[in-house]
DNA sequence: TACATATATTCCTATATTGGAATATATGTA
DNA sequence: TACATATATTCCAATATAGGAATATATGTA
């Protein structure tokens, strides 16, 4: 069997960093594909394809306006992630403070670059 | 270019449902591989391989005890997910209540089964 | 040491990407 | 109608799975 489809659920869909970037952009204001292409500096088919995945799992919806399609985030669709993560929240807090978390994040980014 | 590696970051690692299931199990209490094999009813190499991904991104650590290896969750490693999701929390709340979210979850599960 | 147990790793197959390029579709405009 | 613009889709290549089977490694025990 192969790996889980990106459209299997919200968790799979946001696994791709570019799709998280799209969500972060669209949460501020709804945008057309072309506006996203300019904002992200990606090729148009790439934007459309990532949007298609997000649309499939319901994270974004689309509205037609002339030739354009305006995409907007449905934030409530991200709620299962919040609910899932919630059960772990009680475990951090004492063990590690904000600064430590930040430093570990930096560390991790370095590791990832080394590994590629 | 190919798809993002599962070990690219925490978001990619938890994209796989089985790995989330392992985390949910291990957060309750640390367990050996064999205990997980029994608890999950998966084959041993499958458990070990999923644990290897989680270990790679730091979500679990392992401790040797005789022939066994005891795995435990490092919940603070899930914090980047909580921080990412946090920026969207303000957008739900009014628009949809708990019950709606629950019903939509059920709906979504049905859709997913239909689609395969 | 010989054997059993616990776990990790390797090899394999099928599949689903991600991204680029080219093309199709839809819609607005002269 | 002919053309331009906006977006989606198809085709392609490269790659990284997820899972099964077999095997390797490590450690405890008789």
- Chain A residues with CB-CB distance to B75 below 8 A: 88, 91-92
The verdict on A97 touching B (C-beta cutoff 8 Å) is no
Query: Residue A70 has what pLDDT?
Result: 98
Q: Is A88 close to B20, i.e. CB distance below 8 A?
A: no
Test mutation, A22, A88, A97, chain B, max B CBs within 10 A: A88
Q: What is the mean pLDDT of residues B30-46?
A: 98
Query: Residue B114 has what pLDDT?
Result: 44
Say whether the CB atom of A52 is under 7 angstroms from strand C. no
Give the nearest chain A residue to B112 (CA atoms).
A8
- For residue A73, the tally of other CB atoms under 10 A from its CB is 22
Is A67 inside a domain boundary? yes
* Calpha distance A110→A116 (Å, rounded): 10
If 0-12 CB within 10 Å is exposed, 13-18 middle and 19+ buried, where does residue A106 land?
exposed
Maximum Cα interatomic distance, chain A, rounded to a whole number of Å: 54
Query: Residue A112 has what pLDDT?
Result: 47
Give the nearest chain A residue to B77 (CA atoms).
A101
Is A57 inside a domain boundary? yes
Range of A85-89, A101-105, B44-48 with top mean pLDDT: B44-48
Q: Is A112 close to B8, i.e. CB distance below 8 A?
A: yes
Query: Residue B98 has what pLDDT?
Result: 53
* Calpha distance A52→B8 (Å, rounded): 22
Is B1 inside a domain boundary? no
Is A95 inside a domain boundary? yes
User: What three-state secondary structure class fits B15?
Assistant: coil
DSSP calls for B63-115 = EEETTEEEEEE-GGGGHHHHHHHHHHHTTSSSS--HHHHHHHHHHHHHHHHHH
* Calpha distance B49→A70 (Å, rounded): 42
Is A62 inside a domain boundary? yes
Query: Residue B101 has what pLDDT?
Result: 54
Backbone angles phi, psi at B61, to 5 degrees: -125, 170
Is A3 inside a domain boundary? no
Contact by Cβ (8 Å): A32, A70: yes
Residue B68's domain is classified under what CATH number? 1.10.10.10
Range of the domain at B53: 10-115
Is A60 inside a domain boundary? yes
Residue A65 CA: distances (Å) to CA of A15, A28, A70, B66, B67: 30, 19, 7, 66, 64
Say whether the CB atom of A42 is under 7 angstroms from strand C. yes
Is A66 inside a domain boundary? yes
Structural domain total, chain A: 1
- Chain B residues with CB-CB distance to A95 below 8 A: 76
* Calpha distance A56→A12 (Å, rounded): 12
Structure tokens at A22: 């799209």
| Interacting residues of B76 by C-beta distance below 8 A, sequence separation 6+ | A91, A92, A95, A96, A101, A104
């Amino acid at each position: 069997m192969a790996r889980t489809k990106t459209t299997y659920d919200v968790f799979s869909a946001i696994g791709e960093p570019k799709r998280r970037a799209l969500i972060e952009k669209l949460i501020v204001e709804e945008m057309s594909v072309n506006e996203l292409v300019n904002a992200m500096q990606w090729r148009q088919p790439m934007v459309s394809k990532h949007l298609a995945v997000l649309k499939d799992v319901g994270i974004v919806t689309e509205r037609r306006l002339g030739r354009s399609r305006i995409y907007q985030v449905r934030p409530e669709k991200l709620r299962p992630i919040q609910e899932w993560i919630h059960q772990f929240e009680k475990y951090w807090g004492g063990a590690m403070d904000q600064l430590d978390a930040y430093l570990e994040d930096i560390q991790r980014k370095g590791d990832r670059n080394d590994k590629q």
